């Protein structure tokens, strides 16, 4: 597990926080000064590579190159839409006890 620590100063004392990477996003949470936030990956992001590659591998069984290209394009568009719509990360504010352990 990677334990990176980033400190962000909030001018208003509170803010809404959401993480994203390569189009994959997280839930949005409210934070205030002094809060510790944990970012974890969801189960779908852990298996996303397999969920993308397995259908792509099955396109080799399509006999026509024209239909194979159409299938690959459709699968690619579907994967991009899923990345945008499905949360790949989960943010949560840690309780006081959890902060002391880290």
Per residue in 36-93, pLDDT tens?
A: 888 888 888 778 778 788 888 888 899 999 999 999 999 889 888 887 888 888 899 9
pLDDT at residue 102 in the model: 54
Does residue 26 belong to any structural domain of this protein?
yes
pLDDT level of residue 97 (50, 70, 90 thresholds): low
Does residue 28 belong to any structural domain of this protein?
yes
Give me the residues paired with residue 92 across strands: 38
Does residue 89 belong to any structural domain of this protein?
yes
Does residue 3 belong to any structural domain of this protein?
no
Which of left, alpha, beta for 89 (phi over 0: left; psi -120 to 50: alpha)?
beta
Q: For residue 71, give its domain range.
A: 14-95
- Within 8 A by CB and 6+ apart from 92, the residues are 29, 37, 38, 40
Q: Give the largest CA-CA distance in the chain.
A: 61
> What is the total count of domains within the chain?
1
Does residue 4 belong to any structural domain of this protein?
no
- Within 8 A by CB and 6+ apart from 94, the residues are 35, 36, 37, 38, 102
């Amino acid at each position: 597990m990677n334990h990176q620590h980033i400190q962000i100063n909030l001018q208003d004392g509170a803010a809404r926080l959401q993480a994203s990477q390569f189009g994959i996003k997280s839930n949005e949470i409210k934070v205030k000064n002094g809060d510790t936030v944990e970012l974890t990956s969801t189960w779908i992001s852990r298996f996303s590579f397999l969920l993308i590659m397995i259908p792509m591998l099955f396109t080799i069984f399509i006999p026509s190159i024209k239909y194979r290209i159409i299938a690959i394009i459709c699968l690619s568009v579907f994967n991009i839409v899923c990345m945008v719509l499905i949360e790949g990360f989960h943010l949560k504010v840690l309780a006081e006890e959890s902060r002391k352990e880290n």
